[in-house]
Chains A and B, each alone.
Chain A
């Protein structure tokens, strides 16, 4: 397979960026999207050019590192997966693919497709935890948690913190990210004592970091 890639290149924060066109030839349908980018980069490096910077680590959809907007959609055309789990069989041969970084005021661009997502960590530091010291915890079965409650908490806790929700939102709000953590902890008896303080602190931090407001847009 062959593809034409329009990739956002930007030397550093505050620099002017632009789209640069690359041809990706000799791509097999079983290659992942990131492996396809790897092979473009290998070609660039061998020519002594700077490869396209992009973020990735676990390549199995759980670490939340990868962060590409593909044809206008964060993580690409499929629902519920990250960029690293996207395979080239998903695209028609010869397709033109546009690749951009997350775009949000709270996520300044570091280089090319890599953005600074420390704002999310700071929102977590504001209150995304249960204040409990190590040691002295009571037996895990003392507080019973119904299966349904635990499953719902787990649904919320599954957020991988990649920031795609911010990239997808017109207002670049981090409301989904914050809501996931708030729900996860408030649904469990251990998280209840701090739930009011937690919500306020996390929302304030979200505003402070320059994330937009939630407009409940669907």
Chain B
């Protein structure tokens, strides 16, 4: 029977983390040298964790599927990173960042975790500056800030529209140093396919060398997963095409609980989808909403060009519905508001899948140069993709699957339900509740990797008992066998449909029934359609080439096979949660005004799902206790 013990330190919120750190056992420097830790993934969380663990003296083996650790998808984050520095003296504090994040997550995250995140946020900025991150500066030489969605203070630090790139390159440079020092062994182009669990402890992983196709087992004293989110289950998303659920999903099948998989964030401002060949949706940073105004024509099916529609006939729908936050309303509400006006037939552009994001006012008030300095690279990107010039006509945007708040369940120490398996960054579920605020994912990835995991993993390593486990251990061989069998099965499938065609069909199914809004009927339909599609996949997929060579189609087909199983878990979770909260909107649970209706009496819990072979997943609940911030109706009106 799975037990969920969040291990939250009792007592005052402000000192929980300090007290936990003090009460933890340490590993002596001599012993650290003998301890091996595996880190999978080299995004912000993985690279910062691997480099810090290397610096502490552990022997770290680090894996990524990309050709270089610097290419992890954190690199694409645009807008910025939050920190409670209060450099602007505009009323910010650790407490306020904590409150904003708890409220932004619609009271579905743990108070203790979120408070700690807000506390370490300030250290992250200092660390990044020390690493040479070229943050935007004021003329006086001090760090600059901007405001971001869902909050009323300016606490976001940024590097133009490339903050994720710069923070990742900083963590990558720290990793490079530890590789050079021999503390970290880096294995790029290597994909994790299974987890080795011995005596209930995570002790290694099975990987495939993507160049030679060779399968191997790597063992260690602990395993850290930093493998990102699963938005690509929707086929079209803002994620990189390689981003996938395989590592966390395979860990789930070995006993790690998966928490809140239905909390998937649909970002309001992506470039609208085009034709069927489209392979990804491109995000336009949320920072654009600082100056851009969203609107649609008041009249349905109004096909006049935007400049011919007078102000009185425009509906600035976010400003109308949420006057206090206006265009900076949080992502979940903004996305649904966009969907609502499009559903009314007031969408613009091809198929009516779009709304205007208009910069005319700021261009008029502050001039072209100011707008170009703030958003130049985004306007260029928009022009390249659409062929349109947003300096002269409004952009068109539409929501797109973006970030996943759900992930493997972890306790306060970031350890999953499998002892020795730690999960950090987007791959875990812990800090964002049912909706993540802008500029918070970079903050969480680096908080976990630089400042939290390196402490908590030490306590585990100092206190757990370890038996020797090598690649010839029976459990290692069994894991290798599982992964190899799955690959053979893919290669032996004698169909004629490509993996992409199945992926597209699955994505469409999920988008329709488990996307921005969900209902019981649709979810039940999805739960019968997904297994059928999965069976068809195994009968009908075509994977050319061999397993003993560089084979991109084989890699992809393996990931699609996992999406086809994981999608079912996502729908189970969405069906169980009979309330609307954050990004999860169940049509049955809304107010007369169409606002989400949360149900704290029945659903103030984390839904953690346990894998059961040949049966539906089992639900375990971790109650969410709010000792410091009583849940209120989340209002931005």
Contact = CB atoms under 8 A, between A and B. Distances in A.
B550 A111 contact: yes
Contacts of B123: 135, 137
B129 A137 contact: yes
Nearest to A11: B549
Contact of B552 (A32, A51, A118, A184): A51
Contacts of B173: 124, 128-130
Interface in B218-260: 240-242
Nearest to A132: B130
Interface in B90-139: 123, 125-132, 134-139
A157 B76 contact: no
A134 B454 contact: yes
Interface in A20-78: 28, 30-32, 34-36, 38-39, 42, 44-46, 48-51, 53, 55-65
B1 interface: no
B188 A118 contact: yes
Given A28-B277, A124-B176, A147 B138 contact: yes
A157 B135 CA distance: 11
Interface string B41-73: 000000010011001000000000011111101
A89 B386 CA distance: 10
B28 interface: no
A57 B550 contact: no
Given A184-B132, A190-B130, A45 B544 contact: yes
Contacts of A126: 180
A202 B497 CA distance: 48
Interface residues of A, number: 77
Given A121-B176, A130-B131, A85 B384 contact: yes
A115 to B, nearest CB: 9
B278 interface: yes
Contact of B71 (A60, A64, A131): A64
A57 B240 contact: yes
A28 B275 contact: yes
Contact of A141 (B67, B87, B283, B501): B87
Interface stretch (B158-166, B471-479, B515-523): B158-166
Contacts of A133: 55
B280 A59 contact: yes
A48 B273 CA distance: 30
Given A61-B381, A147-B141, A150-B134, A35 B176 contact: no
A63 B76 contact: yes
Interface residues of B, number: 80
B177 interface: yes
Interface in A116-156: 116-118, 120-121, 124-126, 128-135, 137-141, 143-147, 149-151, 153-154
Contacts of A137: 123, 126-127, 129-130
Among B130, B140, B279: residue with most chain A CB under 10 A: B130
Contacts, number: 212
B498 interface: yes
B130 A138 contact: yes
A55 B67 contact: yes
B73 A58 contact: yes
Contacts of B135: 140, 150
B143 to A, nearest CB: 5
B80 to A, nearest CB: 14
A151 B123 CA distance: 23
B274 interface: yes
A17 interface: no
Contact of B279 (A35, A81, A188): A35
Given A57-B242, A146-B141, A120 B68 contact: yes
Nearest to B494: A48
A57 B384 contact: no
A58 B279 CA distance: 10
Nearest to A140: B129
B139 A110 contact: no
A63 B42 CA distance: 13
Contact of A63 (B71, B274, B277): B71
A141 B138 CA distance: 11
A149 to B, nearest CB: 8
B385 interface: yes
Contact of A135 (B85, B127, B128): B127
B4 interface: no
B291 interface: no
B179 interface: yes
B75 to A, nearest CB: 5
Interface in B446-500: 450-451, 454, 496-498, 500
B134 A153 contact: yes
A129 B70 contact: no
Contacts of A46: 496-498, 542
Contacts of B549: 12, 111
Interface string B261-283: 00000000000001101111011
A131 B177 contact: yes
A54 to B, nearest CB: 8
B443 to A, nearest CB: 14
Given A50-B545, A57-B73, A161-B70, A154 B132 contact: no
A185 interface: yes
Given A110-B211, A125-B180, A130-B173, A30 B71 contact: no
Nearest to A161: B70
A139 to B, nearest CB: 6
Given A36-B277, A60-B280, A137-B123, 18 more contacts: A30-B274, A30-B387, A35-B278, A45-B553, A56-B241, A58-B75, A60-B282, A63-B71, A63-B75, A87-B384, A114-B550, A124-B176, A130-B132, A141-B87, A144-B142, A154-B160, A158-B165, A191-B132
Sorted nearest first, the 9 A-B pairs with minimum C-beta distance are A144-B141, A129-B173, A137-B130, A140-B129, A137-B126, A153-B134, A154-B134, A150-B137, A57-B240
